[in-house]
Amino acid sequence: MQKLMGHMRAAMDKYNMITNGDTVAVGVSGGKDSMVLLYAMEMLSRYYPEKFTVKAIAADPCFNGVQNDYSELEKLCRQINVELIIRRTELGNVIFSERQEKNPCSLCARMRRGILHDMAKENGCNKLALGHHLDDAVETFFMNLFNGGSIACFSPVTYLSRKDLFMIRPMIFCEEKMIAKVCAKYKLPLIKSRCPADGNTQRQSFKENILQWEKDYPDIKAKVIGAMQRGGISKW
């Protein structure tokens, strides 16, 4: 945990993610990334030089018309003394029933972020923290390159002028395997995804490709991150 929080603090410092008095909404999907982010952000709020408050927000997609069971998340939030706000949505129905999207992930992510933006603002938060990590950044870089012919990625910090809200990604220097180890060590609860496309996405294909490339280029992920920083790609 200390190593992970060290990487998070490095990202927060480098990109000025936190300022004194912030109220940060952590978007919690129920997967390991968002659970670790929530747990680590609460711990960091105790001693980080810039004082900030953490809230947890969850937008339930209600895939197949079934509400997620958030009882374990509610228990965790009580343990770490973090307010939890849950909103049940029609996201699953819109994506898979009404629109019948063949490639649903991009639209679903955009719609979910929009819901989280509204939830953050409605609950007095000026920043929204998302659980994207280093592997996500590298995968996104290659997806944009191969699919769109563009050199781009999501940004460490994004200001949404319409909402007057900052999106921050404190775990961008943390590898997924590190996050998984922390999640297992601290026995953080997970909420099984009911998404019909879970495990069968284009991102999963790129994840598998990168694993293959690492056999010949073991430091490929570090090189991609370094190249984005040196080139100032997407405000890295």
103 exposed, middle or buried (CB, 10 Å; 0-12, 13-18, 19+)? exposed
The enclosing domain of 45 has a CATH number of 3.40.50.620
Number of domain units in the chain: 1
d(CA 145, CA 186): 36
Return all residues near 178 (Cβ < 8 A) that are at least 6 apart: 3, 4, 7
Per-residue confidence (pLDDT) for residue 36, from 0 to 100? 98
Positive or negative: CA dihedral 127, 51, 9, 32: negative
Per-residue confidence (pLDDT) for residue 199, from 0 to 100? 62
**Domain span at residue 25?**
2-235
d(CA 222, CA 206): 16
Note down pLDDT in tens along the chain; length 236 residues: 999 999 999 999 999 999 999 999 999 999 999 999 999 999 999 999 999 999 999 999 888 888 989 999 999 999 999 999 999 988 878 877 776 666 677 778 888 899 999 999 999 999 999 999 999 999 999 999 999 999 999 999 999 999 999 999 999 999 999 999 999 999 999 988 777 766 667 888 999 999 999 999 999 999 999 999 999 999 99
Q: What is the pTM of this model?
A: 0.93
Q: Strand runs (DSSP E) across 10-151, as ranges?
A: 22-27, 52-60, 83-88, 127-129
